[in-house]
Amino acid sequence: EPEVTQTPSHQVTQMGQEVILRCVPISNHLYFYWYRQILGQKVEFLVSFYNNEISEKSEIFDDQFSVERPDGSNFTLKIRSTKLEDSAMYFCASSTQTSLSTDTQYFGPGTRLTVL
Amino acid sequence: AQSVTQLGSHVSVSEGALVLLRCNYSSSVPPYLFWYVQYPNQGLQLLLKYTTGATLVKGINGFEAEFKKSETSFHLTKPSAHMSDAAEYFCAVSVAAGNKLTFGGGTRVLVKP
């Protein structure tokens, strides 16, 4: 069964450093998403991406964040200058061309980011 | 804006007993509703979803949920808990196909032998 994959599974970085989290969505999917879950808190939406552009972003997704689909298979989340409060589990998700009855987001296993 | 409330952050059930996880939502438009499960060290896996049509939705692993518009609820049930059901369960709402998911806080289920 096709699945969303994410690398790395764990990332430890120093405050102020740039990190890139990588995701490989399911191959025929067209919508891509990033969510994050700070320990003990809700899963929160960050950004959605369709047709090579951001379709929606949350207030969390400020200028420190960016997304890219560099090569038609990978989908990346970049944090330019990490802060302590960026420590969280980051989930990538993808979904097919949407219709009223087949909109399911498939999630990857997550990348745990720790900012020291 | 939509929101989801899950009553009870932790639920403990005996093996073979009914599992009932509560979810209430708020949405200004007809919602799409989802239940996801997260096993330890894994991603979120879809259990079931409601988009339109029949309000009683059956999912994987014997789970089902009923959409009750009048109560703005989408509670998840399973008649008989199994040890393998120990996990965290998330209710989520979306207001359109392809739109973001808004999650509840999650309910961690512990199954006692």
pLDDT tens column, A20-52: 999 999 988 888 999 999 988 889 999 999 888
CA-based nearest distance A89→chain B, Å? 10
The C-alpha atoms of residue A85 and residue B109 are separated, in whole angstroms, by 28
Residues of B in contact with A103 (CB under 8 A): 32, 51, 94, 97-98
Taken in order B24, B27, B30, B34, is the CA torsion positive or negative? negative
Helix (H, G, I), strand (E, B) or coil at B70: helix
CB distance from A51 to chain B under 8 Å?
no
The mean pLDDT of B9-28, rounded to a whole number, is 95
Strands B19-26 and B102-103 turn out to be: unpaired
Cβ–Cβ pairs < 8 A, chains A and B:
61
Task: Say what the pLDDT of residue A101 is.
Answer: 47
Contact B101/B3 with Cβ under 8 angstroms? Answer: no
Q: Are the C-beta atoms of B20 and B66 separated by less than 8 Å?
A: no
Question: Do residue A35 and residue B101 have CB atoms under 8 angstroms apart?
Answer: yes
Task: Determine whether the interchain pair A35/B106 forms a contact, defined as Cβ–Cβ distance below 8 Å.
Answer: no
In angstroms, rounded to a whole number, what is the distance separating the alpha carbons of residues B18 and B40? 22
